[in-house]
């Protein structure tokens, strides 16, 4: 039995990795390299690192505290993801790809006469600027990266910054997220949250405060009506 909801909002705030694009193979290959370099438990890292700023992961998992070393490690990690992705794509495999229904949804939002969406990512500006076009993601009206905030997800600061960049009350925004840290960030900001089960199971995302949980964005449609975004959301498992 389907469970379909219709709602409206002024703006959409999207996470990037795992929500708009899939970087899993490239990220996994990069973490495998860093796990060997820093003698890390790869499975433990992968369980909690997704959706967290690279600089915070480098500090937590690799024990790097020196600001210059931290900056260099962050740049190395994220450049390796893009390099790995391009190598995978050159070999005919999936590197950085847009997730289901993402491109039609974003193109619909770009038809709005006023800016209706932003990307709010834990990634650095350098990585996001390389990853988005590689995956074919259309240009966003506003891009908030981990470089733009003092406190990363799960702190609410990133999504508050996204709403502010669009000049919209965060309570009139819907956050779209796949990771527990991002869902917590969106909920804490005061926005409604649409969670997608692209990197975690439905059971793992339940109980975190998301307003809706869907399999992926193929279960969502957008219409632009009078400066508002009208969403139809199918929560059927």
Question: What CA–CA distance (Å, rounded) separates 118 from 159?
Answer: 10
Residue 184 near residue 209 (C-beta atoms within 8 A): yes
Given the residues 17, 22, 56, 178, the one annotated as active site = 17
Same domain, 18 and 29: no
pLDDT tops 80 at residue 2: no
The CATH number linked to 65 is 1.10.150
Q: List Cα–Cα distances, 27 to 38, 71, 155, in angstroms.
A: 16, 18, 23
**Confidence label for 88 from pLDDT (cuts 50, 70 and 90):** confident
Same domain, 166 and 141: yes
Mean pLDDT computed over 89-113: 92
Same domain, 145 and 39: no
Mean pLDDT computed over 60-77: 96
- Final residue belonging to a domain, choices 90, 105, 122: 90
Question: What CA–CA distance (Å, rounded) separates 137 from 81?
Answer: 17
pLDDT tops 70 at residue 167: yes
* 17 classed as catalytic: yes
Question: Three-state DSSP class for 234?
Answer: strand
**Confidence label for 1 from pLDDT (cuts 50, 70 and 90):** low
Three-state secondary structure of 25-75: HHHHHHHHHHHHHHCCCHHHHHHHCCCCCHHHHHHHHHCCCCHHHHHHHHH
Mean pLDDT computed over 18-39: 94
pLDDT tops 70 at residue 138: yes
- Final residue belonging to a domain, choices 90, 114, 145: 90
User: Could you tell me the two tokens for 97?
Assistant: 């790809």
Mean pLDDT computed over 101-111: 98
The CATH number linked to 182 is 3.40.50.1000
Given the residues 15, 22, 56, 178, the one annotated as active site = 15
pLDDT at 7: 98
Phi and psi at residue 154, to the nearest 5°: -85, 5
- Enter the pTM of the model: 0.90
Domain count, the chain: 2
* 169 classed as catalytic: no
């Amino acid at each position: 039995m389907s469970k379909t909801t219709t709602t409206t909002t002024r703006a959409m705030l999207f996470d990037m990795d795992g929500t708009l694009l899939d970087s899993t193979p490239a990220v996994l290959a990069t973490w495998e390299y860093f796990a060997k370099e820093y003698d890390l438990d790869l499975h433990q890292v992968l369980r909690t690192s997704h959706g967290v700023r690279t600089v915070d992961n480098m500090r937590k998992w690799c024990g790097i505290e020196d600001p210059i070393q931290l900056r260099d490690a962050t740049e190395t990690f994220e450049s390796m993801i893009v390099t790995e992705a391009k190598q995978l794509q050159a070999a005919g495999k999936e590197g950085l790809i847009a997730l289901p229904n993402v491109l039609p949804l974003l193109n619909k939002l770009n038809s709005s006469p006023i800016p209706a969406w932003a990307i709010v990512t834990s990634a650095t500006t350098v990585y996001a600027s390389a990853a988005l076009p590689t995956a074919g993601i259309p240009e966003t009206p506003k891009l908030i990266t981990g470089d733009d905030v003092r406190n990363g997800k799960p702190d609410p600061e990133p999504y508050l910054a996204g709403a502010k960049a669009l000049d919209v009350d965060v309570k009139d925004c819907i956050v779209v997220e796949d990771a527990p840290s991002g869902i917590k960030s969106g909920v804490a900001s005061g926005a409604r949250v649409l969670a997608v089960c692209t990197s975690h199971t439905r059971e793992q995302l339940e109980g975190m405060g998301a307003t809706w949980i869907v399999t992926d964005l193929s279960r969502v449609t957008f219409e632009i009506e009078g400066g508002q975004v009208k969403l139809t959301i199918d929560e059927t498992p």
